[in-house]
Structure 1
Amino acid sequence: MSDQRFIIEMGMGNDLHGMDYTKAARRAIEDAIRHATLPIFDTTGLDHTEMRVQVTVGVQEPDRIDADALAKVLPRGRASVSAVRGGQNVTNPETGETLVIATAAVEAFLPYQGDDWRPADC
């Protein structure tokens, strides 16, 4: 059986100066993983390298994302990052400066474990 998703977290990040899409995306990823804890590895004895991490980042200009640099931000698992059109750009009418807002969905998958996992009271 294929991998099963066991967690999904969402985050938002921004770059207020410089229109750095990768910086905004990195902050969105960090926001998402800040909400998650993965005690599953300690309780099951699984190695975190068995986990596949799939990140989707939404920004207005996806081609300006450095996906390889963002994959290195993930502290565990085998990460891949893809960028899609999303997020938001907001222009300050007084200065003309553009604020970049990015969103991120961080998903974690493990190989099927259903036959090995049992409720604690069995």
Structure 2
Amino acid sequence: MSEQRFIIEMGTGNDQYGQDYTKAAARAIEDAIRHSSLPIFEAVGLSHDQMRVQVTVGVQEPEAVDCAALATKLPRGRVTVRAVLGGLNVPNPDTGGVIVIASAAVEAFLPPQDGWVLQRKAD
């Protein structure tokens, strides 16, 4: 096994008025990572560069998502983003507008880590 997944976070996001799939996907990614913190890197002396981050966003029009722009918004790791068919379009019968709902899975992978030892901080 070349890598091990050590975290997966899920989130949802929407664009209520602009029918912007990239904006909805960005909000889903932000929702997924908003409450995450990875103190393990400092605790075991790993570099964030060792982490590969794989993001999958689901929307009804995956071809309308700017995956390269989304990748630049993630703060750590070597990031790839792909858009797939998913999410939901909710039409408004009164206005003809569409609310775009996106879902996201953010996965982080590291090379296999045998014998992790937490580093102790000096007092």
Shorter-chain TM range is over 0.9
Are 1:108 and 2:83 counterparts?
no
Query: C-alpha deviations, 1:72-107, integer Å up to 9, x for none?
Result: 110000000000000000011110100000000000
| Counterpart AA for 2:15 | D
Distance 1:11 1:36 in 2: 12
Stretches of structure 2 that go unaligned for 5 or more consecutive residues are: none
1:53: which partner in 2?
Answer: 53
1:34: which partner in 2?
Answer: 34
Q: Secondary structure at the match of 1:68?
A: helix
Stretches of structure 1 that go unaligned for 5 or more consecutive residues are: none
TM-score relative to the length of structure 2: 0.93
Distance 1:35 1:7 in 2: 13
Are 1:25 and 2:32 counterparts?
no
TM-score relative to the length of structure 1: 0.94
Runs of 4 or more above 3 Å deviation: none
1:117: which partner in 2?
Answer: 116
Report how many residues are paired. 119
8 A contact 2:44–2:117 mirrored in 1: no
8 A contact 2:52–2:108 mirrored in 1: yes
Q: RMSD of the alignment, in Å? A: 1.3
